[in-house]
Structure 1
Amino acid sequence: MKRLLTTLILPTFLLAQSYPEVISDLDHSLALQSARQLETAAWESYRAAEGKNLPSLDANLNALKFQETPTVTFRLPPAMTPMTAPMGTKNHAEGSLTLTYPLFSGFAISASIEKAKLAHEKASLQVADLKRNLYLSTTMLYSSVIAFDQIIAAQEEAKKAITESHTKAKGLYDNGLLAPAELYAIEAKKFEIEAQITESQNKKQQTLNQLSYLTNTAVTSAGIVVHVLPIPEKNEMVRIALSNREDLRALSKAMDMAQTDVTVAQSRYYPNLTLVGALKRQGDSLELNGDGYSNADKSYAGVAASWNLFNGLSDMHTTEAAQAAKLSVQMTVEDYKHRIETEIDNAYLDINALQSQLQSAKMQVKASGEYAKLTHGRFDNQLSSADELSRSIADLASAKAKQASLESELFNQSAALWLKGGLNAFQEKVIPITANH
């Protein structure tokens, strides 16, 4: 069965940038754009690797001028003098169009193509995982902005209350009914609250600056966020994560790439067969119509075979090294699965703790509010001190700020839990909910 994490609706601001809008702006992130260029490079490398499995066609043209005319010497029986005769011309030109096609390479070519394909798929998953991590950072910052807005609202409310109290205290002081120390205590608390407001506003702006940096877009305010996210049972979330997490899938691609390295290493045990054919002509000019001594057409076709029989056991050790590397990646994948399970388990513990803390904070706000009302009344009737009044106002603001922080963190943790399940799970569950509110 599904549980619901339910907290309050945070206030909305005119022309504020919504959570889905800020998430969408991450497409402008320079880090993400850089990763996409690496993905494109991996794709082009894959296409280049595919070319190795196709015929190669080369054109060649040579034009030479010998220093001497090529000759040949005939050595007849010893009684006769050796005879020398020309066998070519000083000018010699050759032109060819050669076709080479690998018939069999011990699976090395197909394995290298498969590795390039896996590298591109891994790069795509790494882009998605980078986006997932950017979503995590952005969610934390965005919810912090919302919390600061709540905190500043509580502090402004406290400032208004302390200002009203200061006005009453000043009247009592002017009529000799309040000691100077009492009035100064209220004034000091007023300045303290103003300083807190300034600090909160600065922290909010710093957070907005970080959001602007991540999205490479100006983020000036945060809009409404509803803290109601459906959370499945823990085992279901683990299943989702192990099936969809981009970083885990990228590691699995690395394991497949390690297998292609094993195949490439083992290909050295097989012979290589290559089909070769050429259209070739020669002559004493660029017309390539012969030189009067040998035929102009030198075209040919054939098959070339090579097989390394022994190279000092290098192939055996290379294969063993590739197999060990594959086993290492396989163990890394299994370790990473356990790490994901631990992350999700801890996330549920954090969410449960935050729910309890938030319930306590709400009760504290209620209690602080009632105490502040009581203290106001008692102060108006000179039954409590200015210091007690100031502390009650500050305590109420502090309780409201704590509640806002916990609400922000609860949304952050619940959204982060879906991101631990993978980018697709987050986009399917979280984005529609926040977009509809």
Structure 2
Amino acid sequence: MLVNHKEVFMNKKIVKLLPLTFLGVNLYALDLNEAIDIALINNNSYIKQQYIYDEAKANVRKSRAGFLPKVDTSYTYNANKYDLGEGKDNANASAIISYNLFSGLKDYYTLDAAQKNKLASKYTLEASKHDLVYETKVKYINYLKSLKNIETIENAYKLLQNQYKDAQSKFEQGLLAKNDLLQVNAQMLQAKQNLARAKADSKVSWYNLKNILGGELSKDENIKDLNKDTFFIFDYKEDEIFSRSEIKALKNSIEALLSQKNANSYGTSLPSVSLNLAHTKYGEDSSLNSDTLENDEQSTATVNVKWNLFNGGADYAETIILRKKSLQVKEDLEELKLNIKLQYENAVEEYDVSKLNYETAKISLEQSKENYKIVNNRFKEGLSTTTDLINANFLLAQAKQSFDNAFYDRFLAKASLDRILER
């Protein structure tokens, strides 16, 4: 049964906003951890996986039924008319208790297979949770990157607008050639197009984030940026990767298939024994009255022994099928281990590169700011050309984009490692 975490989360959010409501200001911003909580409550794929796990638990309860007695009741009433033939009305009611004494170990292995499948489903659910957390981080960070990209391009566009005004003034004074003015205008229009594209891309990133949150994201929701003072420590060990939930799920799936194979093999090669206890009440009318009957009740105990000696080889074929399926899953398991190891190695490389790029990007951004300041001052003094200032603006925008990407790429690299080692 699923807990209504959504209602709990919304209540916490309301409480969080109460003090701000009295001030008439909504300063609340959704942070990454809260986004993850919303995704775990509302994401449709994750909810579906929870239902699959609930189904696996129900299958275990269903398999346990083979070890419990079964109780059946029946009632029969026959109405005989003399004009249709001789005879009187009669009725009977029975209560039957059936108990499986031995079923060739089929029930035992069927239950064991159901329990293993339940464990496999549990680990698959756990893996789905880690996948969802990782994907939420990626969508959240990509949206933040898109907002920073808009900010960078918008700043570059404003700088070009100011440059165009200065260039236009100089052109009117006869201090600037027309081709220089047209060059600034062309760059300004290009920046305007880039800004429109950046805003469109940001909308797509917003919709991606909204979808993974199960649609629970309003247009006016403020998104909190990541902490700039976050300290990154590499504390990951390669041997931890082989305790992943997906590996545990496949191991239990293999064991479940082996139990199914045993259930088929032993269940068909050994006899089954059952006991039926029945008590029947006879009567001469629908109310089971029996005034003229000498024996109006009967109790019986029946032991049934059944042993199939040959069924055309279907059982043997089914055993082969289940054995081959288990071998297929074993190959999936070995391939998964190789893929996880490769994921880890790639993630470690990305983590190292992201740290190096961030340090380099910080230096590059500071130098680009200083370069633009120098070129802009020289342009005002007539010592630099329009092209020099355009190039300085371009380099500054490029350095800012590289810095923002490097800043967020560290968090993405860490998120990837956290997913691989299920942190």
CA contact (8 A) 2:143 2:209 kept: no
Q: Measure the CA separation in 1 of the matches of 2:204 and 2:61.
A: 45
Tell me which moved more, 141-150 or 359-368.
359-368
Q: Which amino acid aligns with 1:101?
A: Y
Match of residue 225 from structure 1 = 226
Consecutive unaligned residues in structure 1, runs of 5 or more: 1-12, 72-85, 426-437
Q: Give the share of equivalent positions with the same residue, in percent.
A: 21
Residues 18-417 of structure 1 aligned to structure 2 (within 5 Å): 18-26=31-39, 27-65=41-79, 89-216=87-214, 217-218=216-217, 220-226=221-227, 228-233=231-236, 236=237, 238-243=238-243, 245-267=244-266, 268-288=268-288, 290=290, 292=292, 295-417=295-417
Q: Deviations over 1:130-155 (max 9, x none)?
A: 23222232222211122222222222
SS of 1:98's equivalent in the other structure is strand
CA-CA distance at 1:14 after TM superposition: 5.4
Tell me which moved more, 52-61 or 223-232.
223-232
CA contact (8 A) 1:229 1:415 kept: no
Q: Measure the CA separation in 2 of the matches of 1:92 and 1:136.
A: 71
Q: Deviations over 1:246-285 (max 9, x none)?
A: 2222212211210211221122221111121012121322
CA-CA distance at 1:66 after TM superposition: 5.0
CA contact (8 A) 1:56 1:101 kept: yes
CA-CA distance at 1:51 after TM superposition: 1.9
Q: Measure the CA separation in 1 of the matches of 2:159 and 2:165.
A: 10
Q: Deviations over 1:91-121 (max 9, x none)?
A: 2211110000111112211222232233333
Q: Measure the CA separation in 2 of the matches of 1:15 and 1:338.
A: 44
CA-CA distance at 1:368 after TM superposition: 2.1
Q: Measure the CA separation in 2 of the matches of 1:209 and 1:322.
A: 44
Tell me which moved more, 26-35 or 321-330.
321-330
SS of 2:278's equivalent in the other structure is strand
CA-CA distance at 1:287 after TM superposition: 4.1
Tell me which moved more, 208-217 or 224-233.
224-233
CA contact (8 A) 1:281 1:289 kept: no
Q: Measure the CA separation in 2 of the matches of 1:110 and 1:229.
A: 51
Tell me which moved more, 258-267 or 60-69.
60-69
Q: Measure the CA separation in 2 of the matches of 1:261 and 1:307.
A: 20
Call closer, same or farther: CA 1:231–1:291 in 2, change over 3 Å.
farther
TM-score (norm 1): 0.82
Tell me which moved more, 26-35 or 219-228.
219-228
Q: Measure the CA separation in 2 of the matches of 1:299 and 1:155.
A: 91
Q: Which amino acid aligns with 1:350?
A: E
Call closer, same or farther: CA 1:229–1:55 in 2, change over 3 Å.
farther
Call closer, same or farther: CA 1:321–1:206 in 2, change over 3 Å.
closer
CA contact (8 A) 1:265 1:322 kept: no
SS of 2:233's equivalent in the other structure is strand
CA RMSD of aligned residues (A): 2.6
Tell me which moved more, 396-405 or 43-52.
43-52
Q: Measure the CA separation in 2 of the matches of 1:318 and 1:34.
A: 31
Q: Which amino acid aligns with 1:255?
A: I
TM-score (norm 2): 0.84
Call closer, same or farther: CA 1:379–1:185 in 2, change over 3 Å.
same
Q: Measure the CA separation in 2 of the matches of 1:173 and 1:325.
A: 79
Tell me which moved more, 89-98 or 40-49.
40-49
Q: Deviations over 1:52-92 (max 9, x none)?
A: 221100000111245789x9xxxxxxxxxxxxxx9xx5322
CA contact (8 A) 2:146 2:205 kept: no
Q: Measure the CA separation in 2 of the matches of 1:52 and 1:196.
A: 68
Q: Of Structure 1 and Structure 2, which has the larger fraction of its residues in strand?
A: 1
